[in-house]
Amino acid sequence: MSKGSQARYLVIAESLKPQIAAMAPDTLLPTENELAAQFGVSRVTLRQALKLLEEAGSISRTRGRGTVVNPPKIVRNNIPMRTLEDDFREQGIAFETQILGFEASTQPSKEVREHLRLAPKERVAALRLLRIVNRRVICVEERYCRASLAGRLDLDEIRSEGIVEILSRLSEQPIETVEFETEILPSSGEIASALGLTRGTPVLQNSFVYFLSNGEPVETGLIAYRVDRCKFRAVGRFPLAGKSAAPAKDAGKRSMPHGKSAGKSRGGNGKS
C-alpha cells in the first residue's frame, strides 16, 4: 500500500470518529461501497480505516449484518482503589457475573505459591469468572485462595456479592491492602477464548495479591480486560510543592516480583 493510501485511511478514520460518536449504539453505518464512494477511495483503503475504528472499540463489523456503532466504553476507576463490584455499583452499571470454572483443591503454580506463601504441599482453590455488561463481555478473572477456604465458599454468593467481602468474612478479618501490577499483554489462548478475541489480541491485565489486616496474603490472581470495551480512570493528588511524597508502607511485608506496586484500599476493599 502506498504512503498516500496509508495517510488517507487515517484521515478517513478521524473523519468518521465524530459521526460515530453522535450515533446511537447499534446504529448501522452505510455499506463499505457507500463509504468508499463518499470518501473517494477504494474499499481496501476504507477497510483499513474501519479496522482502526474496530480495534479502538468504536464499531463492530459482522459478516451478513454490516458495521454497527458500539456502546460507549465502560469506565473502570482504578484510583482511588475500589473493587470492580463496588465501582460498577457506585456508577449504577448493571453487570452479570458468570462462573466459568471452580476447583476446590488444585496444585498451585510456583507464582501462586509464592504470592500466597503456601507450605510445600498446600493446595489452592481456583475460580474463573466472567464479567458482562449489556450482554458484552468486559473482563475475565482467574483467582486463587487457600484450599482451606474453599469448603465455605458459596458460589451463589459470588454471583451477587463481592469476593473481597466474602473472603474477609470467611477469614474473620478485613482485607485492607492490595499489591497489583498492570500490563498490556497479548492475550493467551484461554483468556482470548473467554473474552471472545483472537489469540494474541492485546488486553489490559491486572495481577494482584490481597492482604488481610494482619499482613497475611489471602488471594492472588489476574483480571484481563477488553481494551476495546473499557477505559481506565485514576484520580489522585500530587504532593505539596517542595515536599517529597511520603514513602509507601510495605503492605504485605514483601514485594511482588518485577516491581509490582502496593496500594492502600478504602473501607477494607482492595483493587479488582
Domains of the chain, first to last: 3-69 (1.10.10.10), 74-264 (3.40.1410.10)
For residue range 99-115, list pLDDT tens digits in order: 999 999 999 999 999 99
pLDDT band at 63 (very low <50, low <70, confident <90, very high): confident
Q: How far is residue 165's CA from residue 121's CA, in Å, rounded to a whole number? A: 27
- Is the pLDDT at 166 greater than 70, yes or no? yes
Q: What are phi and psi of 233, to 5 degrees?
A: -125, 140
0.85 cut: is pTM over it? no
- pLDDT at 264 (0 to 100): 41
Give the lowest-confidence range in 118-132, 196-210, 235-249: 235-249
Classify residue 219 by its DSSP letter: E
Q: How far is residue 166's CA from residue 28's CA, in Å, rounded to a whole number? A: 43
pLDDT band at 243 (very low <50, low <70, confident <90, very high): low
For residue range 3-23, list pLDDT tens digits in order: 554 589 899 999 998 988 888
Is the CA virtual torsion 229, 176, 126, 119 positive or negative?
positive
Nearest alpha carbon to residue 70 among 34, 32, 17: 17
- Is the pLDDT at 260 greater than 50, yes or no? no
Residues listed for the chain: 272
Cα 108-224-190 angle, rounded to 5 deg: 60
Percent share of the chain, pLDDT over 90: 59
Radius of gyration of the chain (CA): 22
Q: Which residues touch 7 (CB under 8 Å, ≥6 apart)? A: none
What residues form DSSP beta bridges with 227? none
Q: How far is residue 91's CA from residue 75's CA, in Å, rounded to a whole number? A: 9
Is the CA virtual torsion 170, 171, 177, 180 positive or negative?
negative
Joined grid coordinates for residue 225: 480486560
- Is the pLDDT at 261 greater than 80, yes or no? no
- pLDDT at 263 (0 to 100): 44
Nearest alpha carbon to residue 197 among 154, 229, 162, 151: 229
Contact of 204 with 182, CB cutoff 8 Å: yes
| Whether residue 18 has a cis bond before it, omega within 30° of 0 | no
Centroid of chain to Cα 120? 31
- pLDDT at 164 (0 to 100): 92
- Is the pLDDT at 46 greater than 60, yes or no? yes
Helix or strand (DSSP H, E) at 167: helix 163-171
- Is the pLDDT at 247 greater than 70, yes or no? no
- Is the pLDDT at 216 greater than 50, yes or no? yes
Contact of 168 with 149, CB cutoff 8 Å: no
- Mean residue pLDDT across the chain: 86
**Measured distance between the N- and C-terminal CA atoms of the chain, rounded to whole angstroms:** 43
Q: How far is residue 251's CA from residue 210's CA, in Å, rounded to a whole number? A: 10
- Is the pLDDT at 148 greater than 50, yes or no? yes
- pLDDT at 259 (0 to 100): 39
- Is the pLDDT at 255 greater than 50, yes or no? no
- pLDDT at 239 (0 to 100): 83
